[in-house]
Amino acid sequence: MDTAFRHVALIGKYKSPEIAQPLLQLAEFLEHRGVEVSVDPLTAAHVSDHRRPVLTLEQIGRSADLAIVIGGDGTMLNIARTLAPFDVALAGVNVGRLGFLTDVSIDTMFATVGAMLEGRFIVEQRMLIASDVMRGDLRLDDVVAFNDVAVSKGAGGGLIDLEVRVNGQMLYRLRADGLLVATPTGSTAYALSAGGPILHPSLSVLTLVPVCPQTLANRPIVLPGDVTLEIVVHRAADARVHFDSHSHCELKEGDRVVVRRCRHVVRLLHPANHDYYHMLREKLHWSESPGR
């Protein structure tokens, strides 16, 4: 049978035994459709009797047409960052909580994946951001993030003093618990909790969202996606920068976090009937009728 995807990699949520059964069932479904199926090493280690080739994520990136993530948004964030340089299409089966990125229901998994094999799906490109952590001329770290880069105070509890520059021009000085640089994808994550706006994921923009600023005049601001942001730590007893809440780097006074749009994008596949606004209503519990 002709399919849109000849080789599909299945990647499960780490150390989650509940994904074993749906993953094996999906593997059999794909193979019955004439699709080559592989799994990554971490999935293979926790799903017994899978009998499929085990490929590293780099090998998956080089050989797979589609990677299906079975888990939650956190798993998708990690896999998307890793596979973005290879331009592998990604789809997510949600066994987590919110499911903003993993929007294929496990109850309709076979019908939805079957439709995708037949070419019935919606493709969406999502931007990533690349960050360099600089101490003078020394690069301490360089990380790609899908949701956000968050500069925050540490365990000491005191406010941190930051300066923000846009393309080399000063935007403002800020005393706050922290500052977020969020992508449109990240606008419904930490940035939303901090009072930032919801941005349509098709946009190529960056949002700066202060976290508990000392001055209430410091508000979120949306900037073009092609700018270079520089966050300079002026005063901080204990500060750090987090990337998608996945990794972090300790900061000292004088350190700079430089953020810009990454040259790679994430290519997400959605079901053919995907409705972004319906998804927002469902996930955020917005009412369809006033007063309800």
| C-alpha span between 28 and 21 (Å, rounded) | 11
Query: In 3D, which of 229, 172, 217, 220 has the Cα closest to residue 199?
Result: 220
Q: What is the pLDDT of residue 2?
A: 65
Q: What is the pLDDT of residues 159-171, one digit of tens each?
A: 999 999 999 999 9
**What type of residue is 277?**
Y
Q: Compute the distance between CA of residue 261 and CA of residue 130 in angstroms, rounded to an integer.
A: 6
Mean pLDDT score, 238-249: 93
Instruction: Give the mean pLDDT of 62-70.
Output: 97
* 123 backbone dihedrals φ, ψ, rounded to 5°: -100, 135
CATH superfamily assigned to domain 128-263 = Probable inorganic polyphosphate/atp-NAD kinase; domain 2 (2.60.200.30)
Could you check whether 7-120+272-284 and 128-263 share the same CATH topology?
no
Q: In the prediction, which pLDDT does 287 show?
A: 77
Burial class (CB in 10 A: 0-12, 13-18, 19+), 21: exposed
pLDDT tens string 185-206: 999 999 999 999 999 999 999 9
Residue 231: closest CA among 241, 243, 246, 221: 241
pLDDT at 290: 66
What b/e sequence results for 196-208 when a residue is b if at least 16 CB atoms lie within 10 Å of its CB, and e otherwise? beebebebebbbb
Give domain 7-120+272-284's CATH number out of 3.40.120.10, 3.30.70.260, 2.60.40.420, 3.40.50.10330.
Answer: 3.40.50.10330
Q: Which tokens is 109 given?
A: 């998994």
What tokens does 110 get? 């076979």
Catalytic residue among 2, 40, 65, 73: 73
Distance, CA of 292 to CA of 289 (rounded, Å): 6
Cα-Cα-Cα-Cα dihedral sign, residues 18, 23, 26, 32: negative
User: With contact defined as beta carbons under 8 Å apart, do 133 and 255 qualify?
Assistant: yes
Give backbone dihedrals phi and psi of 97, rounded to 5 degrees, phi first.
-100, -75
Residue 157's pLDDT is 72
Summarised one tens digit per residue, pLDDT across range 105-153 is: 999 999 999 999 999 999 999 999 999 999 999 999 999 999 999 999 9
- Quick check: is 255 catalytic? no
Per-domain boundaries in the chain:
7-120+272-284, 128-263
Per-residue pLDDT tens over the stretch 76-96: 999 999 999 999 999 999 987
**What values do phi and psi take at 220, rounded to 5?**
-60, 150
Nearest-10 Cα torsion for 223, 77, 89, 65: 150
- Integer Rg of the chain from CA: 21
